[in-house]
Amino acid sequence: MTQLCSPIQTAPTELLTEIFKLAMPTRAELKALGKVSLDTAPWVFGRVCARWRTIALDMPTLWTSIILAIPYGTAANIARSFPPALVREHLARSRTLPLDVLFTSKEEFPALTTEKVFAVIATAAARWEALEIESRQPLAFDQLRWNLKRLRRLCLCPSGLDRIPPPPCVRERDSTGALLWRDVDIGAFIPWTQLVEYTTTSDELANVDRLREAAASLVSCQFSVDILWTQRTPAVTEFSRLRKLTLTIRSTSFTSPPFLYSLSLPALEELYVEELGLGGLRPLLRRSGCSLKKLWFYGLLPRDDFVWIAENNPHIAELGMVQAGAGSGIDRIMNNLRVAAADAEPLLPALRALHILGTEPYFQSIFEMLESRMERGAPLQVLSMHLPREPKPRYAAMTARLKPLKDGGLEVQAMKKLPGGYDLVHFL
């Protein structure tokens, strides 16, 4: 008797290999799942038939991402949801390939069970290529100093971090006896000269002197800095490969961050700056001689600074303004971007995308700018705006005015603030 088989079961191995790659969950999906699960790819492939299992085991590239998000819970629940044996087997199936590791712990004081799970991942530290850790405690990170041989991308997001650390020679423990981030000189354990990307949400881990060690390798960097403790150094350090910089400046004054005067970023193309109603940006860009392609600023950017940046960076194709409310001078900026005469050279002639997220969009000045650029042959392709929660009739005039712009090729989007960042949602 002839046995009936599904065509997919008899498909060539090469075809199944490509299907497996396409069926793998994205990093965002793995992060949402937050654990090694037998019900998702790549584990689920081995539950179909012996042939599929063999193919999956012969593809170590399917097993190179391991993302564990430890929630609030009891030790028993954590042990049941994150069995060390399963994590160990997942690592083994990736063989000797580089790993992408994300480990988060929401517990105030991670239980011993959590540390055991991290310890399993730490056995493969020599293969970590990308590492993201979010935890109140540094766990076993201080034990990995000499093992991070392949690390290229690092993200450290300590939660509950103390603002002011004790002297380096002092190691403190809280009332529970748990080791805190401030107890460990984490910068001493980071292989700075290897890093291509570095992200941190902590002032204490944004040590500028440490970052200088990565000057020859960093391509992307994101950190926050408090100007109250940042010291100005006379020597200028050139980050020769840095193309993307995201910087948050925490200050209650309008004093320029001293360290901005000691950096040179000749390759910089993307700049995202928060709370920069300061004077340090223009000297930084002048010294660097870079050519920006993207500029996002959060909060106030003085008009003179904007005009200077625009005139000296004509290749900016994407401009974003966040929290562009009444005090941000958006009307003046829109007037600067307007093309007043047919023979006039537009400011930012390469501008193709404009994103505005704020409490009070200035529709009139925005549309006048858009219409003038379309009429003068320098149209925008993408407009993203934040829309307040008001009755739709308010936008009737806006919608009518948008129609000829959309007919001319303008894509209109709504920009919303979402947890973890800003996202664009198509509308109209």
Rounded distance between C-alpha atoms, residue 412 and residue 62, angstroms: 38
Q: Which two tokens stand for residue 201?
A: 């949400």
At 326 the pLDDT is 53
Structure tokens at 353: 């995308």
Residues 6+ apart with CB under 8 A from 8: 16, 19
pLDDT at residue 359, rounded to an integer = 54
Q: How high is the pLDDT of residue 410?
A: 87
| DSSP label at residue 141 | G
Would you state the pLDDT for residue 136? 64
| Helix residue ranges per DSSP H, 215-341 | 281-288, 303-312, 330-337
- pLDDT at residue 281, as a whole number: 78
Q: Which amino acid is at 92?
A: A
Residue entry with tokens 């308010």:
394
Provide the pLDDT for residue 82.
80
Q: Is the pTM of this model over 0.75?
A: yes
Q: Would you call 224 exposed, middle or buried from its count of C-beta atoms within 10 A (0-12, 13-18, 19+)?
A: middle
Look at the alpha carbons of 187, 161, 247, 101 in this order and tell me if their dihedral is positive or negative: positive
How far apart are the C-alpha atoms of 412 and 383, rounded to whole Å? 5
For residue 185, give the nearest of 198, 195, 171, 196 by alpha carbon: 171
Asked if 402 and 376 count as a contact pair (C-beta separation under 8 A), the reply is no
d(CA 373, CA 264): 34
H or E segment and range at residue 121? helix 112-122
Specify the pLDDT at position 50.
Answer: 87
pLDDT at site 162: 33
Distance (Å, rounded) from C-alpha 131 to C-alpha 36?
17
Residue 356 neighbours by CB under 8 Å, 6+ apart: 320, 321, 324, 330, 366, 384, 385, 386, 415
Taking the CB of residue 240, how many other CB atoms lie within 10 A of it? 13
Per residue of the chain (428 residues), what is the pLDDT tens digit? 455 566 766 788 899 999 999 999 988 888 778 788 888 899 999 988 888 999 999 999 999 999 888 776 666 667 777 888 899 999 999 999 999 999 887 765 555 667 778 888 888 989 999 998 887 665 555 555 557 889 999 988 765 433 333 333 333 444 344 445 455 566 777 888 999 999 887 655 556 677 888 999 999 998 776 554 445 555 788 999 999 998 877 654 545 556 677 789 999 999 988 765 455 678 889 999 999 999 998 776 777 788 899 999 999 999 988 765 555 577 788 889 998 877 788 899 999 999 887 655 577 888 889 999 988 888 999 988 765 555 456 566 667 777 888 888 888 877 654 433 444 333 33
Query: So what's the pLDDT on residue 223?
Result: 78
pLDDT score for 390: 53
